[in-house]
Amino acid sequence: MRRCKRGVSPLIATVLLIAFAVALGAVVMNWGKSYAQETADTVRTKSDKDVKCSIDVSIEVAKISSTPQICYGGGGASGYIFFIVNNAGTKEIEEIELTVIGENDVYSNSSLTNSSIAIAGSLRKNVSYSYNDYGPVKQIRLIPKIDVGGTTVACAGNALEKDDTEITNCTSI
């Protein structure tokens, strides 16, 4: 006697197909939920930084007798950049990043030593600068960095920039 081999009954096939679809849907929904949460956290962190930088951070060059206190001096390998900046914002500045664009190259110091500035405070710095390596000063850029949620972030949009027409030789100050 010969038996007819039949495939899986249509009812069982339908149940298996529905179970597979539900399981696949659960996996996709779980992944989507975690992805959406990670994206929301990233956006929240970035917006916190942007809001704090744009509202709470402001630095300005100090003026003494109407003379801006930012200048360059010295010569050769023993040059220097001198500045006094005030924290005009409502948040403490953790550190200052200095970038000097010279005629030959760019000098960058991502974190000046002891450069924190309290609210309404001032910072006076004299930073070594080699005219031999970088050439005459074309622009000085000071970028404030603040603490946002335990991380130090640069507020590049609030950078203080002075070009060579606004910077004098220190002998004239």
Would residue 31 count as lying in a domain?
A: no
Would residue 143 count as lying in a domain?
A: yes
Would residue 108 count as lying in a domain?
A: yes
Total structural domains within the chain: 1
Q: Nearest-CA neighbor of 82 among 61, 97, 102, 66?
A: 61
Cβ contact 148:114 at 8 Å: no
Would residue 15 count as lying in a domain?
A: no
pLDDT by 10s per residue, the chain, length 173: 566 666 668 888 889 999 999 999 999 998 988 888 888 777 777 777 777 888 999 999 999 999 999 999 999 999 999 999 999 999 999 999 999 999 999 999 988 989 999 999 999 999 999 999 999 999 999 999 999 888 899 999 999 999 999 999 998 76
**Rounded CA gap, 53 and 30, in Å?**
35
Q: Nearest-CA neighbor of 97 among 87, 110, 108, 88?
A: 110
For residue 52, report the phi and psi dihedrals to the nearest 5 degrees. Answer: -65, -40
CATH of the domain at 118: 2.60.40
Would residue 3 count as lying in a domain?
A: no
Please give the pLDDT value at position 50.
Answer: 74
Of all helices (H) and strands (E), which one includes residue 43? helix 10-56
Domain region containing 127: 59-172
Q: How many CB atoms lie within 10 A of CB 65?
A: 5
Would residue 14 count as lying in a domain?
A: no
Would residue 11 count as lying in a domain?
A: no
Q: Nearest-CA neighbor of 98 among 173, 151, 161?
A: 161
Would residue 32 count as lying in a domain?
A: no
List beta partners, residue 102: 137
∠ Cα 47 110 157 (to 5°) = 35
